[in-house]
Amino acid sequence: MTEEVGVVTGDLTVATTRLPDGRATVRVQYTGAEEWYTLTGSPADVPPDGPEALHLAVVRAVHQGGEAVVPGS
């Protein structure tokens, strides 16, 4: 589920970027496209395990489908 266009499906790329304030933005795009969309729940707090743990949780949620949002949001 994205803020800009709602649900996106298909072959997606996920990018998680840490912000200076300790949170992270999570964005998705159709693989190979230029436009990025903000995943609902982003920006999110980075867990104690770091941004990599957040990224993996997001990727798992996206793979499961069902209007995935940033876990814990």
| pTM of the complete model | 0.87
> What number is the average pLDDT over the span 50-72?
90
Q: Cβ contacts of residue 1 below 8 Å, gap of 6+? A: 7, 39, 40, 67, 68, 69
Q: What percent of the chain has pLDDT over 90?
A: 77
What radius of gyration, in Å, describes the C-alpha atoms of the chain?
A: 11
Please provide the DSSP assignment of 30-64 as one string.
Answer: ETT-S--EEBTT-SEEPPTT-HHHHHHHHHHHHHH
Confidence of residue 71 (pLDDT cuts 50, 70, 90): confident
